Amino acid sequence: MSDSFRGAVDASDSQLSAESAAFRRALDVVRAVEPRVADAIGAELADQRESLKLIASENYASPAVLLAMGNWFSDKYAEGTVGRRFYAGCRNVDTVESVAAEHARELFGAAHAYVQPHSGIDANLVAFWAVLADRVEGPTLRRLSARHVNDLTEADWAVLRRELGDQRMLGMSLDAGGHLTHGFRPNISGKMFDQRSYGTDPATGLLDYAAVREAAREFRPLILVAGYSAYPRLVNFRIMREIADEVGATFLVDMAHFAGLVAGKVLTGDFDPVPHAHIVTTTTHKSLRGPRGGMVLCQPELAEQVDRGCPMVLGGPLPHVMAAKAVALAEARRPEFGDYARRVVDNAVALADGLLRRGATLVTGGTDNHLVLLDVAGYGLTGRQAESALLDAGIVTNRNAVPRDPNGAWYTSGIRVGTPALTTRGLGVAEMDEVAELMHTVLSQTTAGVGPDGSASKARYVLEEKVADEVSRRASELLSGHPLYPSVDLG
């Protein structure tokens, strides 16, 4: 089976593949209750089939993963951990959680895996609370750790902050490619820690390890966070662990974006976070190609605290999603997943090269991983304008801040693109040059618009309909040779 999840569709119209039969029957059942929902599900498949999906954080889960989520596990409450539930009747939940954790440990070479988090943000919060509970003594912390974080009042937070004292977190800044959950004030992690950020070299856009070391020595964080959502280069986790050890920090890596590259053994040695970090968090979708969810891997000394994620941060775990995680992790242990992961990086490099040849400006001048960060200021556009114009032409991206972005986090000056999804569809290096050409055509033919009062707008744009239609047609032709879910025919 190829990475486009090709199934053996019977040549006879009277026969359906197993996948087609399963999804048709499921939609029939849904349609009998609420046809608008069934129609929206079918329309989403059609939209995804017809668009160039370049959002770096999205992918396509296999039919097996998708089907594993639609079952009776959805009906179960299962607070607690395997063998220690607060509800009876969880033996089958224990099975799928154990299988998922087993696959995670084997796949990543981790000592312990906790597969309950509902998302990457939840995984980070579980990790943060686990480190606090492990490193900070205090009766209030122990008492409040037994409650769900959303139940804490402002008075609770005030008492907790006094008890925690000056607990500090050092992570990559948002505009350099970091994530909101790495201690930024608008996020709940910013309420838990006194946070400071490290950035990148202004001249190269690359991570400056000497500057990170200097910041760590000055700031003395409890947690040093590495990982990114929009940094197109590799991180040397051996060096980052050395910095953490030097200042006595717990080293946490958020590998949500590049977990698939770690699983596929593209990132090894100094670039594999698992052997170097005390604790690793991730999502299970994105480059890992599983269901939407999260996961925590950790060293043995943190396992007990991590397993208290429910009720400390999580409500009831989602057994149907854990079942899908188990299936996805089993798929990632197959040899063909390693081939897929390598092609994700090859495609990203090819896409970056194609954009550079056409005069585009890329943050850091290229990529070593699965994503490319395009500075669209050279086209005279904001990220918001570029994102909208590309979408008109059937190219799905997302706007993203660039280092020291003058347009801020909402309008931005950048577009982030990634290759996991198109690689799953089977597109290769040769097709990436055409993708670069389509993107460049749209961006070079788009101009900034003006507001109702005639002033310059950061959101409005002008793109001739004929240009958008032509690019959309060419994108459809490119995708026609790489059908999405060809084994699924909804009729």
Which residue in 177, 78, 209, 192 sits closest to 127, CA to CA? 192
| Rounded Cα gap, residues 438 and 442, in angstroms | 6
Q: If we measure between CA atoms, which residue out of 290, 258, 293 comes closest to residue 273?
A: 258
Amino acid type, 304: E
CA angle 18, 21, 26 (to 5 degrees): 125
Token digits for 213? 């070391």
Q: Is 283 a known active-site residue?
A: yes
Contact 374, 417 (CB under 8 A): yes
Spatial distance between the Cα atoms of 141 and 129, rounded to a whole number of angstroms = 9
Q: Which two tokens stand for residue 404?
A: 């020291």
Computed from CA positions of residues 181, 188, 397, 202, in that sequence, does the dihedral angle turn out positive or negative?
A: negative
Choose, from 53, 85, 233, 286, the residue flagged as catalytic: 286
What distance in Å separates the CA atoms of residue 36 and residue 171, rounded to the nearest whole number? 44
Q: Which residue has the tokens 């991730």?
A: 282
Give the residue among 446, 445, 462, 457 at the shortest CA–CA distance from 411: 457
Residue tagged active-site, from 292, 308, 425, 458: 292
Q: 3-class SS at 424?
A: helix
- Cα–Cα distance, 174 to 373 (Å, whole number): 13
Count of CB atoms within 10 A of residue 158's CB? 10
Q: Is 265 a catalytic residue?
A: no
> Would you call 155 helix, strand, or coil by DSSP?
helix
Task: Say which residue the tokens 């970091």 belong to.
Answer: 178
Read out DSSP for 253-276? EE-TTTHHHHHTTSS-GGG-STTT
Could you give the dihedral angle defined by the CA atoms of residues 110, 114, 115 and 121, in that order, rounded to the nearest 10 degrees? -100
A 10 A CB-CB count for 247 gives 18
CA–CA separation, 82 and 149 (whole Å): 22
Give, for 281, the enclosing helix (H) or strand (E): strand 279-283
Q: How far apart are CA 81 and CA 101, in angstroms?
A: 11
Of 283, 382, 397, 423, which is the active-site residue?
283
Catalytic residue among 50, 58, 77, 242: 77
CA gap 457, 468 in Å, rounded: 21
**Active-site hit among 24, 31, 49, 79:** 79
Query: Is 301 annotated as catalytic?
Result: no
**Catalytic hit among 3, 122, 175, 254:** 254
Q: Are the C-beta atoms of 211 and 194 separated by less than 8 Å?
A: no
Q: Is 404 one of the annotated active-site residues of the chain?
A: no
Residue 325 designated active-site: no
- 137 is annotated as an active-site residue: no
| Residues annotated as part of the active site | 77, 79, 254, 283, 286, 292
